């Protein structure tokens, strides 16, 4: 009898429910390196599938694990625990790719081995400042690439999924973990389309989408813990300037692209007109991520083509809103340039400002659809930004009518903002989580409306009108063919969002670390409490 019970317990042994087991799993996830755009990233989903199949449930229900192939031949993993008493469903999502390890310098060999890395840090303590030294010696943190951002979240979700299966929770849970979050979000953009279709087919009722990105510091040495009710958005409005070439000896025979783009740039960077406020939060100001003329070699011809693009953060605005303001600023600046040039030129140059959408329309009208189609389809650039630049350049080079033209457009990527601060369920969950954190662990928690690290939550619960969406689509060269955002699937994946992750520090840095107690006890405990209160014992 006793033997039988022990045997039973042996076979029923849960894998990831103690703090020690969770830490072991996390170290294992880190050991399987998965830097974006490497072999490791390609292999990781197969390792996750094997990991999931350690659970009897997935041995028996192999089809409940789906690999979703992305356009760039990576795979997202969706694993579903199906309760047969309800259609109510929660998605728990994470990304498994990480940034690279160049920042580790002489420690790079240990970047994925948390134990070895901690030892190595401890024996080279003088390489760190006092603040880091004390965290290294505290034994409260685990170090390693991806350990915070965000294999911590994936580990906690695996633990939660195992618990749901074991206790047969009356709620469906889809664990989704995607590649490429750190670069183009190809993983999430593909997964959204498949998931929304699947949810529709199965008639599932989506109640919540929960991300597990770690709590990021808001300022240096910030020791606060945060829960997020949304995720900041970003969009990249861009300009392409086409002046007119001339010999340096006859400057007034042409128009310098650098003159125009530098003045446009001065008006856009740090422009507070783009700033948005929500309660006590505000978006960081826009900055240029790129500004170059297209001349490659030295000679005495003036550069006549240049382009630039800008990072603009979003709270409630859509891409279309930003584009309207962006165009106004560019138009005003170009008019000012023309006025000022009138003082040196014989007459003020007439400089046209045109959107990409209008440019392509007028070129098609003039040269025929087929010619334009052929020109565009011959472009071989694979980088989204260079591709867009080449499309515009080739269109402008078609005929002389395009001298003195400034084209405005969008570059990829676009992360729409998302926020559920006003949602009743999110308000309740947030309040409850904050209370539990304090009561059980004496940890103070602050609610933040917009996760400031940019996340894949951007690709769910899309709320803007089709007209807004079309303005983005029509002004992004290569939209659909080279870069796609599944706006209608994002609209269908409609549910309030929240982000609850573990406490960590210095994501994307050599000292990336996760707080051991937070990731192995506190957050798993609170997640479990949340599921019980809102979905199980309700
Ligand atoms: Zn992340």
> What is the three-class DSSP state of 343?
coil
Ligand 1 centroid–CA 239 distance in Å is 29
Q: Per the structure block, which two tokens stand in for 313?
A: 């953060």
Ligand 1 centroid–CA 183 distance in Å is 11
User: For the domain 17-231+417-460+495-536, what is the CATH code?
Assistant: 3.40.630.10
CA 372 from centre of chain: 33
Please list the rounded mean pLDDT of every run of 10 residues in the chain (538 residues): 52 89 98 98 98 97 97 96 96 98 97 98 96 96 98 98 97 98 94 96 97 91 94 98 93 94 98 97 97 95 96 97 98 97 93 97 96 95 94 94 94 97 98 98 96 94 94 97 95 96 96 98 98 94
Which of 196, 211, 208, 194 lies closest to 89 in space, CA to CA? 208
Ligand 1 centroid–CA 455 distance in Å is 6
Ligand 1 centroid–CA 361 distance in Å is 39
Determine phi and psi for 14, rounding to 5 degrees.
-80, 145
Are 429 and 534 in contact by the 8 Å Cβ rule? The answer is yes
Query: Strand 233-242 to strand 305-314: parallel, antiparallel, or no bridges (unpaired)?
Result: antiparallel
Are 456 and 95 in contact by the 8 Å Cβ rule? The answer is yes
Which of 98, 218, 206, 150 lies closest to 523 in space, CA to CA? 150
Ligand 1 centroid–CA 317 distance in Å is 23
Ligand 1 centroid–CA 54 distance in Å is 26
Ligand 1 centroid–CA 156 distance in Å is 14
Ligand 1 centroid–CA 383 distance in Å is 22
Q: Per the structure block, which two tokens stand in for 403?
A: 């001298």
Are 471 and 410 in contact by the 8 Å Cβ rule? The answer is no
> For residues 104 and 48, what is the distance between their CA atoms, to the nearest angstrom?
26
| Number of Cβ within a 10 Å radius of residue 12 | 9
Residue 200's pLDDT is 95
pLDDT tens digits, one per residue of 473-527? 999 999 999 999 999 999 999 999 999 999 999 999 999 999 999 999 999 999 9
| Number of Cβ within a 10 Å radius of residue 425 | 14
Ligand 1 centroid–CA 29 distance in Å is 15
> For residues 135 and 368, what is the distance between their CA atoms, to the nearest angstrom?
65
| Number of Cβ within a 10 Å radius of residue 422 | 10
CATH architecture, domain 238-414: 2-Layer Sandwich (3.30)
Residue 5's pLDDT is 52
Boundaries of every domain in the chain: 17-231+417-460+495-536, 238-414
Ligand 1 centroid–CA 182 distance in Å is 7
Count Cβ neighbours within 10 Å for each residue of 218-255 and write b for 16 or more, e otherwise: eeeeeeebbbbbbbbbbbbbbbbbbbbbbeeeeeeebb
Are 420 and 426 in contact by the 8 Å Cβ rule? The answer is yes
Are 470 and 299 in contact by the 8 Å Cβ rule? The answer is no
Residue 3's pLDDT is 52
Ligand 1 centroid–CA 227 distance in Å is 14
Ligand 1 centroid–CA 243 distance in Å is 41
> For residues 404 and 349, what is the distance between their CA atoms, to the nearest angstrom?
8
> For residues 103 and 101, what is the distance between their CA atoms, to the nearest angstrom?
5
Residue 402's pLDDT is 85
> For residues 29 and 158, what is the distance between their CA atoms, to the nearest angstrom?
11
Ligand 1 centroid–CA 151 distance in Å is 9
């Amino acid at each position: 009898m006793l033997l039988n019970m022990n045997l039973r317990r042996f076979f029923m042994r849960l894998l990831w429910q103690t703090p020690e087991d969770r830490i072991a799993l996390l170290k294992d996830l880190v050991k399987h390196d998965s830097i974006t755009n490497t072999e490791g990233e390609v292999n990781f989903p197969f390792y996750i599938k094997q990991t999931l199949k350690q659970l009897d449930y997935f041995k028996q229900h192999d089809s409940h694990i789906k690999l979703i192939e992305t356009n760039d031949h990576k795979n997202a993993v969706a694993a579903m625990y199906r309760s047969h008493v309800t259609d109510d469903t929660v998605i728990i999502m994470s990304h498994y790719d990480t940034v690279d390890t160049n920042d580790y310098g002489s420690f790079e060999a240990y970047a994925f081995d948390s134990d070895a890395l901690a030892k190595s840090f401890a024996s080279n303590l003088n390489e760190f400042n006092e603040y880091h030294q004390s965290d290294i010696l505290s034994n409260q943190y685990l170090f390693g690439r991806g350990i915070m951002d965000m294999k911590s979240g994936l580990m906690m979700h695996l633990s939660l999924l195992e618990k749901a299966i074991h206790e047969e929770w009356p709620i469906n849970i889809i664990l989704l973990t995607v590649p490429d979050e750190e670069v183009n979000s190809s993983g999430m953009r593909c997964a959204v389309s498949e998931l929304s279709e699947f949810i529709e087919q199965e008639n599932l009722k989506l109640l919540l989408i929960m991300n597990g990105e770690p709590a990021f510091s808001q300022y240096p040495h910030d020791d606060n813990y945060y829960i997020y009710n949304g995720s900041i958005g970003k969009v990249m409005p861009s300009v392409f300037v086409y002046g007119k070439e001339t010999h340096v000896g006859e400057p007034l025979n042409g128009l310098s692209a650098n003159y125009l783009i530098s003045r446009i740039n001065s008006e856009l960077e740090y422009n507070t007109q783009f700033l948005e406020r929500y309660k006590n939060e505000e978006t960081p100001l826009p900055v240029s991520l790129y500004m170059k003329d297209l001349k490659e070699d030295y000679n005495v011809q003036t550069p006549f083509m240049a382009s630039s693009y800008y990072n603009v953060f979003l709270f409630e605005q859509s891409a279309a809103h930003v584009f309207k303001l962006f165009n106004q600023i560019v138009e005003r600046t170009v008019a000012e340039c023309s006025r000022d040039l009138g003082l040196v030129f014989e007459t003020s140059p007439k400089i046209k400002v045109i959107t990409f959408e209008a440019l392509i329309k007028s070129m098609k009208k003039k040269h025929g659809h087929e010619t334009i189609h052929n020109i565009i389809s011959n472009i071989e650039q694979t980088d989204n930004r260079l591709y867009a630049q080449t499309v515009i350049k080739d269109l402008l080079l078609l005929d002389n009518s395009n001298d003195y033209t400034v084209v405005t457009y969008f570059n990829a990527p676009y992360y729409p903002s998302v926020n559920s601060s006003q949602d009743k369920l999110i308000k309740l969950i947030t309040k409850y989580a904050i209370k539990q954190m304090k009561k059980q662990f004496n940890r103070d928690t602050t609610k933040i409306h917009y996760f400031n690290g940019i996340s894949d939550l951007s690709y769910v619960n899309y709320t803007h009108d089709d007209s807004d969406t079309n303005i983005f689509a029509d002004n992004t060269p290569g939209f659909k063919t080279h870069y796609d955002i599944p706006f209608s699937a994002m609209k269908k994946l409609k549910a309030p969002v929240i982000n609850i992750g573990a406490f960590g520090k210095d994501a994307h840095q050599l000292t990336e670390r996760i707080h051991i107690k937070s990731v192995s006890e506190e957050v798993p405990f609170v997640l479990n409490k949340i599921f019980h209160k809102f979905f199980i014992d309700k």
